[in-house]
Amino acid sequence: MANIMEGLKYTKEHEWVKIEGDTALEGLTDYAQSELSDIVMIEPPEVGRKVNAGEPVGTIEAVKAVSDLYAGLTGEIIEINEKVVSDPSIINKDPYGEGWLFKTKLDDPSQAETLLTPEQYKELIAKH
Amino acid sequence: MLKKTPFYEMHVKNNGRIVEFAGFLMPVQFEGIIPEHRTVRIDVGVFDVSHMGEIEILGKDRLKFVNYLTTNDASKLELNQIQYSTMLYPDTGIVDDLLVYNFKDRILLVVNAANTDKDYQWIINNKKYDIDIKNISDDIGQLAVQGPKAESVMQKVFDLDLSTLRYYWATEVKMQGIPVLLSRTGYTGEDGFEVYVDKKYAVQCWPMIFDAGAEYNIKPIGLGARDTLRFEMRYCLYGNDIDKTTNPLEAGLGWVVKFDKGDFIGRDKLLKIKEAGVKRKLVGFEVIGKGIPRPHQEIHAEDRKIGFVTSGTFSPSRNKGMGIGYVEKPHNKVGTRIKVIGKTPVDAEVIKGPFYKQGSRK
């Protein structure tokens, strides 16, 4: 059973968002990393890029499949997890911790209210 | 109705991720494709390949018939010897790639799971001479034990001296009392064996192999790693690299086509293609920089399409994206720069031979 962390927001694209003031940390959910399995390459967005919520901003390559990486919220990318870029298997091992992907400076932190709660995300993956 | 192999319960117990494949419920992975891949390259792993099809050809003209049905020269087979081969349509498209086992009382054809029914029908439709055809696929369980430690493990299970069983040879033997067909075959590039066993005894074979293999770090391996292992050897996968739209010469399988053996289905047209020269070739290529080629992506050179990817993934042994695909001649030459057109186009270079060259295959 996939682990869903309390205190985070979730997207339909199986990413988690952690709000920290006017910034957000984003990553892949445990469900997503488990479905993809064996993540071997990631192409993250560039620092400084303006992104819109729900927009594809990069790719995640696993052995068997490639998946788009989406922005959870609107803002500017201010940091990329370089450790994960050089060793993407960290995402499989620790998706909610060391495996975070990028940090966004939010245009409007209240936009986070539009995302899924842990309960709603749990319902979403139960349908898969 | 999806079929279960005799080992299905074992896969569930081992936390295998079960998917549908060729009408069967099969484990695609256990601990992960990359760790399973490494288990087979370094130690030894066990694959459930019970989904493969087994078709027996019986009767006095069986060798003559199989020689007409397939492209390799079956008349060269000694008793208990095995041959890799292909079956063609008259237009030279490939019906299937297969193994031909020559036994004293029958020939056994081992075919791809997804093609079993199609192949059986094809063989019946082309029946000639004094032969019988039996599809025994539903009665047989099959395990592949593969890896550099495979012989050490299997030697503990069999009384027979396994160093005498050579690559692509088989024997009918008892496995701790159970009658099995044992062959030194596999599709991983590693040394290894395949065990064919009557479905009713099959499940007993699993613990025999795993008990013997415990000291060698033996593990169950899913279809995911089966694919990356064969991919690194550049072995063809039916449905990806070869199918009814490809011929064996362009696929690099000319070594299993013997024009001098007499007539076989597809010979006339294939000989014309050989004389005219093939227009495209299946090549292996290595990504320069980042990126992973994927099946069906276009291959470009000189700013135009010159081919397409048939297999592409991350090579665990090379630690990078590699691919297999058809390209127009002369872009098949080793060293040719090509572009693989994914979301972000990536540069690649045509390279020679298998992607992994250190295999323990004997």
CATH, residue B341? 2.40.30.110
In a domain, A2, yes or no: no
At B236 the pLDDT is: 98
* Domain span holding position B288: 279-351
In a domain, B333, yes or no: yes
What are the backbone dihedrals phi and psi of residue B338, each rounded to the nearest 5 degrees, phi first? -130, 165
C-alpha distance from residue A87 to each of A47, B148, B317 (Å)? 19, 28, 16
Query: Is any Cβ of chain A less than 8 angstroms from the Cβ of B291?
Result: yes
Q: Which residues of chain B does A59 touch, with a Cβ-Cβ cutoff of 8 Å? A: 343-344
Residue pairs spanning A and B at CB distance below 8 A: 43
Mutate to test the interface with A, among B15, B28, B31, B33 (most CBs of A within 10 A): B33
Residue A2 has pLDDT above 90, yes or no: no
At B138 the pLDDT is: 97
Closest CA to B126 of B90, B85, B86, B77: B90
Mutate to test the interface with B, among A1, A33, A40, A87 (most CBs of B within 10 A): A40
* Cβ–Cβ below 8 Å for A38 and B313: no
ipTM over 0.85: yes
In a domain, A3, yes or no: no
Pairwise CA distance, residues B170 & A59, whole Å: 47
Distance, CA of B183 to chain centre: 14
Write the pLDDT tens digit of every residue in B37-63: 999 999 999 999 999 999 999 999 999
Q: Where are the beta strands (DSSP E) in B176-279?
A: 178-183, 192-198, 219-221
In a domain, A98, yes or no: yes
Stretches where chain B sits below pLDDT 50 are none
CATH of the domain at A16: 2.40.50.100
> Over chain A, what is the mean pLDDT?
95
Pairwise CA distance, residues B348 & B336, whole Å: 8
Pairwise CA distance, residues B283 & B311, whole Å: 10
Residue A128 has pLDDT above 90, yes or no: no
**The length of chain A, given as a count of residues:** 128
Q: Please list, in sequence order, all residues whose beta carbon lies within 8 angstroms of the beta carbon of residue B1, skipping any fewer than 6 positions away.
A: none
Residues in chain A whose Cβ is within 8 Å of chain B = 37-38, 40-41, 43, 59, 61-64, 66, 89, 92
| Amino acid occupying residue B127 | K
* Domain span holding position A67: 9-108
* Cβ–Cβ below 8 Å for A38 and B32: yes
In a domain, A48, yes or no: yes
In a domain, B307, yes or no: yes
In a domain, B284, yes or no: yes
Distance from CA of A102 to the nearest CA of B (A): 20
What are the backbone dihedrals phi and psi of residue B349, each rounded to the nearest 5 degrees, phi first? -130, 135
At B361 the pLDDT is: 84
Write the pLDDT tens digit of every residue in A77-94: 999 999 999 999 999 999
When divided into structural domains, chain A yields a total of 1
When divided into structural domains, chain B yields a total of 1
Write the pLDDT tens digit of every residue in A34-80: 999 999 999 999 999 999 999 999 999 999 899 999 999 999 999 99
In a domain, B286, yes or no: yes
Give the other-Cβ count within 10 Å of B72's Cβ: 23
At B362 the pLDDT is: 66
Pairwise CA distance, residues A117 & A27, whole Å: 15
In a domain, A57, yes or no: yes
Q: Which of B 204-223 lie inside 8 A of A, CB atoms?
A: none
- Conformation bin of residue A14: beta by default, left when phi > 0, alpha when psi is -120 to 50: left
User: Across-strand partners of B198?
Assistant: B140
Pairwise CA distance, residues B196 & B192, whole Å: 14
In a domain, A21, yes or no: yes
Mutate to test the interface with A, among B230, B314, B346 (most CBs of A within 10 A): B314
Percent of all residues in chain A with a pLDDT value above 70, rounded to a whole number: 100
In a domain, B128, yes or no: no
Secondary structure (H, E, C), chain A: CCCCCCCCEECCCCEEEEEECCEEEEEECHHHHHHHCCEEEEECCCCCCEECCCCEEEEEEECCCEEEEECCCCEEEEEECHHHHHCCHHHHHCCCCCCCCEEEEECCHHHHHHCECHHHHHHHHHCC
Nearest to A59 among B17, B34, B343 (CB): B343
In a domain, B134, yes or no: no
Query: Is any Cβ of chain A less than 8 angstroms from the Cβ of B321?
Result: yes
In a domain, A120, yes or no: no
